[in-house]
Amino acid sequence: MQVSYHGHSAVQVSTGTKKIIIDPFINGNELSDLEVANLEVDVIILTHGHNDHFGDTVEIAKKNNALVIAPYELAVYIGKNDIKIHPMNIGGAYQFDFGTVKLTQAFHGSSYEEQDGTVVYTGMPSGVLLTVNGQTIYHAGDTALFSDMKMIGERNSIDLAFLPIGDNLTMGPEDAVAAADWLKAKKVVPIHYNTFPAIKQDPVKFTDMLPKDVGVPLKVGEKLEL
């Protein structure tokens, strides 16, 4: 399995048979190295509805006839665009042909602002546990530090965790260090930083606070083999 980071919270996963993207914020994301027109994916997974995570989901899904997996209210909202959806809710898991997806809680908000300024409530925010061929990736989405991360770490063998470090809107580096400890992830990649002035952080400084060989400050476009 191959994973790559593409700025903000966008992550791609190649299982060998399927191409997956999580939170595809591309257009409007100056840190992204992707182009929507050239992106080929089979599955889109969304953690919540905020525009900087919902991103280019509709255009990507239509172009690729991709399946969108998202929290229930968000999935239903997206489905109105004649897009294939699979609604889920926190605590639920589902076995797809590429692996298992389970949504975890996240402490944040979730809404989508349409072009005319209308704000649409999109349900509860979530994190994602993606398990493929016995390997598990945890994408925390946007979240504060919360004590049930200990339970997530105890109940799952996490090979790779993507954790927000930007602060202000999510947990900051110090809380993310605690999260990494509680999750017991073998590898940790920082996300959700440097996109906007309010979330400016040094990813290397963060990974240096983690145990040796755990922190992986992936550069935009850089790949990691699991």
Supply the pLDDT for residue 123.
97
Look at residue 114 in the predicted model and tell me its pLDDT.
97
Residue 102 has a pLDDT of: 98
In this predicted structure, what is the pLDDT of residue 176? 98
> What's the pLDDT band for 139 if we cut at 50, 70, 90?
very high
Confidence of residue 23 (pLDDT cuts 50, 70, 90): very high
pLDDT (tens digit per residue) in 93-104? 999 999 999 999
Note the pLDDT of residue 211.
97
pLDDT band at 2 (very low <50, low <70, confident <90, very high): very high
Structural domains in the chain, sorted by start: 2-218 (3.60.15.10)
- With bands split at pLDDT 50, 70 and 90, how would you rate the model's confidence at 120? very high
DSSP code at position 134: T
Alpha-carbon separation of residue 199 from 23, 135, 184 (angstroms): 17, 30, 25
Cβ-contact 80, 108 below 8 angstroms: no
Under 8 Å between Cβ of 185 and 152? no
170 band by pLDDT with thresholds 50, 70 and 90: very high
Single-letter amino acid, residue 70: A
What pLDDT is recorded for position 80?
A: 95
Residue 17 pLDDT: 93
Q: How confident is the model at residue 12 (pLDDT cuts 50, 70, 90)?
A: very high
Q: What percent of the chain has pLDDT over 70?
A: 100
Strands 67-71 and 43-45: parallel
What confidence category does residue 8 fall into, taking pLDDT thresholds of 50, 70 and 90? very high
Alpha-carbon distance 89 to 36, whole Å?
28
Q: How confident is the model at residue 122 (pLDDT cuts 50, 70, 90)?
A: very high
User: DSSP strand E in the chain: where?
Assistant: 2-5, 11-14, 19-22, 43-45, 67-71, 85-88, 93-95, 100-105, 111-113, 119-121, 126-132, 135-139, 160-164, 187-191, 223-225
Kindly state the average pLDDT of the residues 193-208: 98
